[in-house]
Homo-oligomer: A and B are copies of this chain.
Amino acid sequence: MKDVLKNRLNLLPAEEYALRLSRLRDLMGKAGMKGMLLTDNANIYYITGRVFAGYVYIPHEGEVINFVRRPVELDGDGVVYIRKPEDITMSLGLNMPESIGLELDLLPYTTFRRLSKVFPGVEIANASPLLRTARSIKTDFEIGMIRRSGIKHDLVYRKIPKLFSPGMSDLELQVEIERVSRLEGCLGQFRISGDSMELHMGNVLAGENADAPSPYDFAMGGAGNDPSLPVGADGTIIAPGTTVMVDMNGNFDGYMTDMTRVFAPETGSLPELALKAHRCSIDIHRELTAMMKPGVKAKDLWEKAEQMVTERDLKAYYMGHRQHAGFIGHGVGIEINELPVIAPRSRDVLSEGNVIALEPKFVIPHVGAIGIENTYAIRAGKVECLTNSPEEIVYFDL
């Protein structure tokens, strides 16, 4: 990290910080929330531009206080060092808010109990939905960060054909992609809100393994190569007549893109059904991005895709074959599972500033996973694609 940044707490440009803060405060006002205390790394990063251990206290009116436990020697406005959360009570003194929003969807129960004592007699509310809403509307600055990740993500994917050699397993190819990706600046960290979903650097799924169900809500999971992490590559040898789906980590600067592409070891080796499904995935992207305008219901996108898949007689393979995923798209930014969710019962409505990964995919038995995923930003009057690798199946030279 640049030396000048090492000790600074707030790394956001002043106007960007003011914009994010005012959006949070607008939502706090509507919810009648007089204060908010954030401790989740992703939320702290969102509001300050850096991760630290501690709490950010945001009153609806008044000065933000950054209660820092670690690292030592951080410098910035409103920095108060604390040893334990109880020190917050003394620091706030008479400035206790009437109500406080905590990240109740994330805070472990015992942490909640401890924090609630920091605010004696104060009404506690759930700040998680408000934060998810705020973070679902990206600023131009945030879209710029995601765009930069997308450019590097693309550079990595374009190198994939050179990384393949005949006889390679899915896992061996994944490791080479991981290396190239890390050397290109990928941070490795794959942020997922909530900690039950575990996945290392993404998924490379070859052939039949794409059809192995995983513990997670993925269309294609993969068996993995160990029961402690039963997801992803399992050592399947990449063979002609099968596909390799690459859905790897696009976090190059704290904001990530999500992109999937399909590779195959020999031109002309894939059956017609697979090619038809890939075409359908690309066509769904075209139709849905044409629909992606502020005010459109997320579930309408899901239904349009469902209709296209049904018309083309591809339903049995859509979003998985043995196990089906419950959604075809999701917001992405600091974390991979943000709002809105493109799912049949989603109540989300699209807004300008949403950044959405669309992933209409298929699993063809004995062939593998097929289809693409792109990350799109909904901007004033247009949809911008942030993941610009070629969408057609890329064949490995043998």
Contact = CB atoms under 8 A, between A and B. Distances in A.
- Output the residue of A102, A104, A195, A214 with the most chain B CB within 10 A: A195
A50 interface: yes
Contact of A50 (B11, B172, B230, B253): B230
Given A51-B228, A200-B188, A108 B110 contact: no
A70 interface: yes
A217 interface: yes
Contacts of A254: 226-229
Interface stretch (A91-99, A151-159, A174-182): A174-182
A395 B367 CA distance: 49
Interface string A223-258: 111111110001000000000000000000110000
A171 B178 CA distance: 14
Interface in A294-329: 322-323
Contacts of A398: none
Nearest to A176: B179
A230 B196 CA distance: 23
A6 B212 contact: yes
A322 B72 contact: yes
B215 A51 contact: yes
Interface string A201-232: 10000000000111111000101111111100
29 contacts: A1-B225, A11-B227, A39-B196, A51-B229, A51-B230, A53-B196, A53-B215, A70-B323, A71-B214, A71-B221, A72-B322, A72-B323, A73-B213, A102-B109, A105-B109, A105-B110, A106-B108, A108-B108, A108-B194, A109-B109, A110-B126, A175-B179, A176-B179, A178-B179, A187-B200, A189-B228, A191-B198, A226-B254, A228-B334
